[in-house]
Structure 1
Amino acid sequence: MTIRVSHLHGEHIAVAAANGTEILRYVYRPDPDPFESRKPYAHPLRTLAGHTVTGYRPSDHRWHKGLQMTASHLSGQNFWGGNSYVHGEGYRRLPERVGSMRHDGFSAFAVSDVRLAVTEELTWVENGGEEWAREERGLTVHSVDEETGSWALDWSIRLTNTRSAPLVFGSPTTAGREMAGYTGLQWRGPRDFTGGTVFAPGTDAEKLMGSQGPWLAFTTEHDDIDAHSTVVFAHAPENEEAVHESHWFVRSEPFPTVAFSWAFFDEFALAPGESFGYRYRVVIADGAWDTERVAEHLAGLPW
């Protein structure tokens, strides 16, 4: 199935399927409020039938924006956005801790009839203006398939510490809050994903928070329309050898969210001049897929 790509320079990249449905909009001109951690994000993401599967600035967490890279606890700074967790005090509004991710440009931009592959250069900037890290981000839209009613987005990160001190990555859990591993690539679902079904291979649904595994899926029945959607989150094979092991941060209630948490239970440090990388895949599908269908589909999408 062919795609059409448009680029509003300085604003966003949009990808539309052959039927005219805009399935992805990647916004790299950040929203204006620095408290929300100004950085690029992908929203909306839609199925081929046009059903939206991301939320944007929900009333409970205005800094949740579609699919975005985050680091909630990074050497005392918050690159997630919003309130910061302080042990013994809870979540506090500490705008002086909120950093940003600056879009510096695209070093590669390749488009074909069936694929978009973009490499973006970014700089992570702490609240006081000091540049802490350089990121090379890869975004690839592919496998747009009318027969299966699905498409895939690959998202990669390679982050290099550019400061003179180690970068220490953590989460609210490493700071003292149990089972709150907010950090890493994070998806926020729209409100009609609340109460949806979450499943992963070999793990009971009630035990998914903080678990590990190659993939996790989230399905829902939409409000207003007679339709279901499925979003699948998958690790690339090399993530098993990454700088730090990952765990799933996942909630269906009170709001729908999934994060590839790279520092759920334990902190890890990145020395000056050192780099790390992760690669992820998100599959957006029409219909309510089950474990067998997800596994079969992922097996048919080579990395």
Structure 2
Amino acid sequence: MAGPGVHPQALDGQPHGTATLRVRGHDVARYVWQPDLPLAMSPRPYLHPVRTLAGVTVTDAAPDSHRHQFGISIAAPDVGGHNFWGGRTFVAGHGPAWLDNHGVQHHERWLRHGGDELAHALRWADAHGAALLREQRTIACRPLTDIAWALAMHTRLTNLTGAPLPIRSPAAQGRPGAGYGGFFWRGAAADTAQVLSPAGSDVRSVHGGTAAWLAVTGVTSGDTWTVLFVPGDETTARDRWFVRARDYLGVGSSLAWDEPLVLGPDETIERSLVTVVVDGPLTPAAAAALARQAT
């Protein structure tokens, strides 16, 4: 059963394990808080579809090329040797391999719930149910302009293992450029796409670096949309961006790039990121102004 007070109607009519977020009367996102996924996908809550105010979908889920990617989620490829990303695990000196090491993010209880805000407690556990992390996650949405709305996501992660707990990306284990892990957006399939940031108008300018904001503009079946990403606090602003636009559209804010992030026993970290969903394109100047407004 869905938690008390959670809206039971998803955007596609599914009544179980989902909640709908609304802005100005528009259904703008579905949060799948209790997904029905195989263990090899590292089951976790995710947002999909996420839509512009005009109804254009800007996320993808379980695409043929990467079945383990789901809309907007918080995922990590290696937490103490356990895969909370899904799919294959990168093994140093070998490459990607299928391992029996997938973890699960379990919903535990609702803290707040409504049409414009959701907050819940989660437990990150290995395949045998042993808890590694406790999380408190908040997702909130609000209008910004007639064509843009903001989705703010905040996560608070605490090490439950009683020992140092490393969080690693494949880049930290020798795979160049693969610094993903943390917040991740899998973009909708686009006929054309352009990346914008204060560092430049291409992927190479910002991938693996920091920037005050990052935007992706896409065209899907004649509809132009932009998704703008803005760090929500100073700590998140120091995390590096992971950007993919060649084979698919993907943007992540990396918890650990070329060095592991090691949490001590009972240590807590927090991250905040704001995603602005826009109908139409943005110039660099308009993106910078909207980024300031969003935070």
* TM-score, normalising length: structure 2: 0.91
Q: Distance in 2 between matches of 1:36 and 1:300?
A: 36
Alignment of 1:50 with 2:55, yes or no, is yes
Shift of residue 128 of structure 1? 2.3
CA distances 1:229-277 after superposition (whole Å, capped 9, x unpaired) = 0000110133258xxx410100111111000011011112101111010
Q: Distance in 1 between matches of 2:21 and 2:161?
A: 36
CA distances 1:207-246 after superposition (whole Å, capped 9, x unpaired) = 22101112100001112xx3200000110133258xxx41
What's the counterpart of residue 7 of structure 1? 8
Match runs of 1:86-165 below 5 Å: 86-94=91-99, 96-111=100-115, 116-143=116-143, 145-146=145-146, 149-165=147-163
What's the counterpart of residue 233 of structure 1? 229
What's the counterpart of residue 259 of structure 1? 252
Q: How many corresponding residue pairs?
A: 284
Task: Give the letter for the 1:187 counterpart.
Answer: W
Unaligned runs of 5+ in 2: 1-5, 10-14
In 1, are the aligned partners of 2:24 and 2:143 still within 8 Å (CA)?
A: no
What's the counterpart of residue 164 of structure 2? 166
In 1, are the aligned partners of 2:183 and 2:254 still within 8 Å (CA)?
A: yes
Task: Give the letter for the 2:142 counterpart.
Answer: H
Unaligned runs of 5+ in 1: none
Alignment of 1:197 with 2:194, yes or no, is yes
Provide closer, same or farther for how the CA distance between residues 156 and 17 of structure 1 changes in structure 2, counting only shifts above 3 A: closer
Alignment of 1:64 with 2:57, yes or no, is no
Q: Distance in 1 between matches of 2:153 and 2:255?
A: 15
Shift of residue 17 of structure 1? 4.3
Task: Give the letter for the 2:19 counterpart.
Answer: I
Range with greater deviation from structure 2 (204-213 or 264-273) = 204-213
Q: Distance in 2 between matches of 1:161 and 1:83?
A: 24
SS for the counterpart of 2:190 is helix
* TM-score, normalising length: structure 1: 0.89
Task: Give the letter for the 1:101 counterpart.
Answer: Q
Q: Distance in 2 between matches of 1:63 and 1:202?
A: 30
Shift of residue 63 of structure 1? 0.7
Alignment of 1:36 with 2:57, yes or no, is no
Runs of 4+ with deviation above 3 angstroms: 5-10, 16-19
Provide closer, same or farther for how the CA distance between residues 16 and 65 of structure 1 changes in structure 2, counting only shifts above 3 A: same
Shift of residue 31 of structure 1? 2.3
In 2, are the aligned partners of 1:31 and 1:39 still within 8 Å (CA)?
A: no
Task: Give the letter for the 1:227 counterpart.
Answer: D
2:282 to 248, 272, 289: 289
Q: Distance in 1 between matches of 2:86 and 2:231?
A: 24
Task: Give the letter for the 1:293 counterpart.
Answer: A
Q: Distance in 1 between matches of 2:197 and 2:145?
A: 23
Q: Distance in 1 between matches of 2:155 and 2:267?
A: 14
SS for the counterpart of 2:37 is coil
In 1, are the aligned partners of 2:88 and 2:98 still within 8 Å (CA)?
A: yes
Q: Distance in 1 between matches of 2:114 and 2:52?
A: 23
1:276 to 269, 274, 277: 269
Alignment of 1:75 with 2:80, yes or no, is yes
Range with greater deviation from structure 2 (84-93 or 60-69) = 84-93
SS for the counterpart of 2:170 is coil
In 2, are the aligned partners of 1:150 and 1:286 still within 8 Å (CA)?
A: yes
SS for the counterpart of 1:228 is strand
CA distances 1:54-109 after superposition (whole Å, capped 9, x unpaired) = 00100011010000001111111111111101122211111x11101001121122
Q: Distance in 1 between matches of 2:59 and 2:95?
A: 27
Provide closer, same or farther for how the CA distance between residues 203 and 145 of structure 1 changes in structure 2, counting only shifts above 3 A: closer
